[in-house]
Amino acid sequence: MNFKDNKAIYLQIADRIGDQILSGDLAPEGKIPSVRELAAEIEVNANTVARTYDYLQQVGVIYTKRGLGYFVSADAKEKIVATRREQLMHGEMDYFLRQLKAVGITPSELQEMYQDFLNK
Amino acid sequence: MLSISNLNFSYKKRGGDLFHDLSLELTAGNIYGLLGKNGAGKSTLINLMTGLLTPKSGEVTLDGVNVRDRLPKIMSDIYLIPEEFELPRLTLKQYVSINAPFYPNFSSEDLQRYLDIFEMGSDMDVKLHSLSMGQRKKVFIAFAFATNTRVLIMDEPTNGLDIPSKSQFRKLVSSGMTDDKMMLISTHQVRDISEILDHVTIIEQSQVLLNASIADITRRLAFRPMSEGDQPLFVQPSVMGSLVVVPAQPDEETAVDLEMLFNATLQNPEAINQLFNALK
Query: What distance in Å separates residue B241's CA from the closest CA in chain A?
Result: 7
Which of B155, B170, B205 lies at the terminal end of a domain, its last residue? B205
Closest CA to A55 of A82, A17, A25: A17
Confidence of residue B10 (pLDDT cuts 50, 70, 90): confident
Distances (CA, A) of B217 to B184, B273, B277: 18, 12, 12
Looking at CA atoms only, how far is residue A37 from chain B in angstroms? 7
Give the Cα separation of B16 and B154 in Å (integer): 27
Residue B15 is predicted with a pLDDT of: 65
Same domain, B131 and B31: yes
pLDDT of A88 reads 87
Domain boundary among the residues B159, B179, B205 is at: B205
B224 touches chain A (CB under 8 A): yes
CA-nearest residue to B243 within chain A is: A1
Distance between CA B109 and CA B169 in Å, rounded?
Answer: 18
Q: Span A107-114, mean pLDDT?
A: 94
B241–A6 C-beta distance less than 8 A: no
Q: How far apart are CA B205 and CA B7, in angstroms?
A: 14
Tell me, what's the pLDDT at B280?
46
- CATH number, domain containing residue A110: 1.10.10.10
Cβ separation of A1 and B238 shorter than 8 Å? yes
What single-letter amino acid sits at B15? G
Residue-range definition of the domain harbouring residue A35: 9-119
Determine the pLDDT at residue A1.
Answer: 29
User: Pick from A8, A36, A40: which is nearest to B254 by CB?
Assistant: A8
Does residue B174 sit at the A interface (CB-CB below 8 Å)? yes
Residue B220 sits in the same domain as residue B154: no
* Residues B183-192, mean pLDDT to the nearest whole number: 92
pLDDT digits (tens, 9 = 90+) for B78-97: 999 999 898 999 999 999 99
Percent of chain B with pLDDT over 90: 68
Contact B195 A39 (CB under 8 A): no
A1 part of a folded domain: no
Over residues A9-62, the pLDDT tens digits come to 999 999 999 999 999 999 999 999 999 999 999 999 999 999 999 999 999 999
Residue A36 DSSP class? H
Containing structural domain, residue B187: 2-205
Q: What is the pTM of this model?
A: 0.85
Dihedral angle, C-alpha A46, A52, A58, A64, nearest 10 °: -50
For residue B276, what pLDDT band results from cuts at 50, 70 and 90? confident
Residues facing B32 on adjacent strands: B184, B199
Do both B8 and B91 map to the same domain? Answer: yes
Q: In terms of domains, do B144 and B229 share one? A: no
Interface test with B, best of A37, A43, A54, A87 (most B CBs within 10 A): A43
Q: Report residue B271 CA to chain centroid gap.
A: 25
B240: chain A residues, CB-CB within 8 Å:
1
Same domain, B187 and B260: no
**Alpha-carbon separation of residue B32 from B51, B63, B181, B195 (angstroms):** 19, 18, 11, 11
B116 interfacial to chain A (CB closer than 8 Å) = no
Q: B223 pLDDT exceeds 70?
A: yes
Q: Smallest Cα–Cα separation from B150: which of B3, B22, B4, B29? A: B29
Number of domains into which chain B is organized: 2
Q: Are residues B96 and B180 in the same domain?
A: yes
Contacts of B255 in chain A (CB under 8 A): 6-9, 12
B118-161 tens-digit pLDDT: 999 888 999 999 999 999 999 999 999 999 999 999 999 999 89
Domain co-membership, B149 together with B216: no
Residue B241 contacts A where some CB pair is shorter than 8 Å: yes
Comparing CA positions, the residue from A24, A28, A48 lying closest to residue A36 is A48
Please give the Cα distance from B225 to A2 (Å, whole number).
9
Helices (H), A6-106: 9-23, 35-42, 46-58, 76-90, 92-102
Answer whether residue B16 shows pLDDT above 90. no
Per-residue pLDDT band for A2 (boundaries 50, 70, 90) equals very low
A2 located within any domain: no
Per DSSP, the three-state class of B6 is: strand
Cα A37 to Cα A43: distance, rounded to the nearest angstrom: 10
Answer yes or no: is A113 within a domain.
Answer: yes
Residue B12 above 90 pLDDT?
no
Interface residues on A facing B, Cβ-Cβ cutoff 8 A:
1, 5-9, 11-12, 36, 39-41, 43-48, 51
pLDDT tens profile B105-118: 999 999 999 999 99
Find the range with the poorest average confidence among A1-5, A59-63, A83-87, B243-247. Answer: A1-5
Between chains, do B195 and A12 touch, taking CB under 8 Å as contact? no
ipTM over 0.85: no
The last residue of one of the domains, among B205, B220, B245, is: B205
> What is the number of structural domains in chain A?
1
Question: Minimal CA–CA distance to A7: which of B69, B27, B257?
Answer: B257
Of A9, A43, A51, the CB nearest to B167: A43
Count CA within 13 A, CB hemisphere, residue B265: 25
Check residue B14 and give its pLDDT. 65
Instruction: Kindly report, residue by residue over B57-82, the tens digit of the pLDDT.
Output: 999 999 999 999 999 999 999 999 99
If you average pLDDT over every residue of chain B, what do you get? 91
Helix (H) or strand (E) holding B247: strand B241-247
Q: What are B155-186's pLDDT values in tens digits?
A: 999 998 999 999 999 999 998 999 999 999 99
Residue A71 has pLDDT above 80, yes or no: yes
Closest in B170, B198, B238 to A43, CB measured: B170
Considering the domain boundaries, does residue A86 fall inside one? yes
Whether B33 and B136 share a structural domain: yes
Which of the residue ranges A40-54, A62-76, B241-255 would you say has the lowest mean pLDDT? B241-255
Say yes or no: B146 and B76 in one domain: yes
Confidence bin at A113 (pLDDT 50/70/90): very high
CATH code, B154 = 3.40.50.300
| CA-wise closest residue to B138 among B122, B153, B152, B158 | B158
Separation CA B175–CA B141 (nearest Å): 14
Please tell me the distance from the alpha carbon of residue A105 to that of residue B31, in angstroms, as a whole number: 50
Residues B226-236 have pLDDT tens digits of: 888 888 999 98
Reported for A50-55, long-range contacts at CB under 8 A and 24+ positions apart, including other chains, are A51/A10, A51/B215, A52/A10, A52/A11, A52/A13, A52/A14, A52/A17, A55/A10, A55/A11, A55/A14
Radius of gyration of chain B from its Cα atoms, rounded to whole angstroms: 20
- pLDDT, residue B59, reads 93
Kindly compute the dihedral angle of the four CA atoms of residues B199, B204, B210, B213, in this order, to the nearest 10 degrees. 0
Distance from CA of A54 to the nearest CA of B (A): 13
Q: Work out the pLDDT band at A3, boundaries 50, 70, 90.
A: very low
> According to the model, what pLDDT value does residue A5 have?
60
- The verdict on a CB contact (< 8 Å) between B175 and A40 is yes
H/E run at residue A25? none
